[in-house]
């Protein structure tokens, strides 16, 4: 059974799976970056939501004025939530797709377009760029995930 | 090593894994649909949150009135967030469950009840149906994921 | 092909993967618990967001007063969203990390520190504990996921 173990962990030797691992890690790290961006805006704009977060600015009323919303903080938070809504399906469906034995070149195309679209989406949201920049980059990422799901369902049902 | 690679990607040949792939893809696609429903309500109700999204309706004050919340938009957004909160654990724990060698019939029962419950939940939320429709469908999906987690932990600890 | 199937499902025999399965299931269950905590506060504080949820308290105006926000409900919801933002990357990157053949002891260290940090984070958020308790526990979990992502990318690129 030691041999079987070794084999079962060799998924990482598969080229498509390795491509998946690379791009899934990159988009998840990009999503994690949104926490730092939100924290940066909260601290520089002094806009917090939890009373205990403002205590270092003084006690009582003087700290209370920092319990407020700020447009930049809210914008970063919306970008973060949009990442969750779109990167979670990519990571889940992408894993199944990577296991459905697609061509490496096709898989790379899917992973790279999605990753590029989501990085552009974040810039479009934070700067912000005029529409339809953000809308189009969202639609590109959405379509890539949809295309992978189609391939997964086709593979599973035809086997 | 070509042989090992081939083997390691054969996860998709496993019947339980294929059932998992099908239902995980379906619920993730259903969750992605919530983005389209939210966008539909934003456009038909003319209720946006980003100033750059309203620019096609005119400049300055005339566009500003579309920066507002709308009950249908907010309802669709809550349904989307509830999906994230419940479908993410299903996809993660379901993958581990599929790898714990359950009976195919038991696995199908879990996957199908969850998928049915979440589709019903979306209808119950959007129409909306009177309670406890939404609450019960939420509880059914929650229990299925809990049951799969129990099986995963039991399998892992007994090996 | 029955033999291949058996082999491909043996991932669960791998010690690192078993450790991953245990801690991924635990943090996902912990995240699911946030739904129950939010529901508990909604019911005890009588603070709801959907009109259909207040109908059991009476019809019309008498029920409308329960459509309101409550600080404890909002706090539990923020804790839940923070879990989504942090546990999703852990589960996704952790799976890739578990497949990158790390030492069992190193893997256990990563998984246990993350799990401990997130459980502490929930207590720090809900009680709430004075800062920087919550901030530090967030940073510890974040760093663990980052460290796993670094190992994944290093492994994939060096193969």
Chain B residues whose beta carbon lies within 8 Å of the beta carbon of residue A149? 25, 28-29
Q: How far is C121 from chain A (nearest CA, A)?
A: 14
Q: What percent of chain A has pLDDT over 90?
A: 82
Q: Do A52 and C78 touch (CB under 8 A)?
A: no
Instruction: Note the pLDDT tens digit of each residue in B11-23.
Output: 888 999 999 999 9
Instruction: Note the pLDDT tens digit of each residue in C41-84.
Output: 999 999 999 999 998 877 777 788 999 999 999 999 999 999 99
The pLDDT of residue A159 is 64
Where does B45-102 have alpha helices with state H?
61-64, 71-98
List Cβ neighbours of B151 (8 Å cut-off, separation of 6 or more).
Answer: B97, B100, B102
Q: How far is CA A154 from CA A147, B22, B90, C51, in A?
A: 11, 10, 22, 42
The pLDDT of residue A57 is 79
CB A8 within 8 A of CB C14: yes
Q: Has residue B100 got a pLDDT over 80? A: yes
The pLDDT of residue A79 is 98
Structural domain span for residue C106: 1-158
Identify the closest residue of chain C to A88 by CA–CA distance. C88
**Average pLDDT rounded to a whole number, residues B54-59:** 80
Chain A residues whose beta carbon lies within 8 Å of the beta carbon of residue B31? 85, 88-89
ipTM of the complex: 0.92
Q: Do C142 and A35 touch (CB under 8 A)?
A: yes
Two structure tokens written together for C151: 């190992």
Identify the closest residue of chain C to A39 by CA–CA distance. C135
Report the domain count for chain B.
Answer: 1
Closest CA to A43 of A62, A70, A81, A80: A70
Q: Has residue B2 got a pLDDT over 60? A: no
Q: How far apart are CA A103 and CA A128, in angstroms?
A: 36
Two structure tokens written together for A74: 């809210």
**Average pLDDT rounded to a whole number, residues B21-31:** 98
In the block, tokens 């949201």 appear at A125
CB C100 within 8 A of CB C8: no
**Average pLDDT rounded to a whole number, residues C80-109:** 97
In the block, tokens 């892992």 appear at B156
Higher pLDDT, A29 or C157: A29
The pLDDT of residue B5 is 41
Two structure tokens written together for B94: 């379901």
- Report the CATH number at residue C22: 1.20.120.550
Instruction: Note the pLDDT tens digit of each residue in A32-79.
Output: 999 999 999 999 999 999 999 998 877 777 788 999 999 999 999 999
The pLDDT of residue A125 is 97
Q: What percent of chain B has pLDDT over 70?
A: 94
Rounded to two decimals, the pTM is 0.93
Q: How far apart are CA A65 and CA C111, in angstroms?
A: 39
Candidate from B7, B18, B55 with C-beta closest to A156: B18
**Average pLDDT rounded to a whole number, residues A1-8:** 42
* Measured CA angle at A94 (ends C18, A147), to 5 deg: 155
Closest CA to A71 of A125, A134, A136, A137: A125
Instruction: Note the pLDDT tens digit of each residue in C104-146.
Output: 999 999 999 999 999 999 999 999 999 899 999 999 999 999 9
Q: At CB < 8 Å, which residues of chain C contact B?
A: 1, 4-5, 7-9, 11-13, 18, 21-22, 24-25, 28-29, 31-32, 34-35, 49-50, 52-53, 55-56, 80-81, 84, 88, 91, 95
**Average pLDDT rounded to a whole number, residues A142-159:** 94
The pLDDT of residue C159 is 64
Q: Give the number of other Cβ atoms within 10 Å of residue A91's Cβ.
A: 28
Closest CA to C152 of A154, B38, A27: A27
């Amino acid at each position: 059974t030691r041999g079987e173990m070794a084999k079962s962990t060799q998924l990482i030797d598969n080229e498509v799976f390795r491509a998946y691992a690379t791009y899934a890690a990159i988009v998840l790290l990009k999503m994690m970056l949104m926490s730092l961006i939100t924290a940066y805006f909260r601290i520089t704009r002094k806009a917090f939501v939890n009373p205990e977060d403002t205590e270092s600015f003084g006690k009582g009323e003087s700290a209370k004025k920092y319990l407020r919303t700020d447009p930049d903080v809210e914008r970063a938070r919306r970008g973060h939530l949009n990442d969750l809504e779109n990167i979670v399906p990519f990571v889940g469906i992408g894993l199944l797709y990577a296991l459905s034995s697609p061509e490496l070149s096709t898989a790379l195309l899917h992973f790279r377009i999605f990753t590029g679209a989501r990085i552009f989406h974040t810039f479009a949201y934070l700067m912000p760029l005029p529409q339809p920049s953000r809308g189009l980059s969202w639609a590109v990422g959405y379509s890539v995930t949809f295309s992978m799901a189609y391939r997964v369902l086709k593979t599973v049902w035809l086997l």
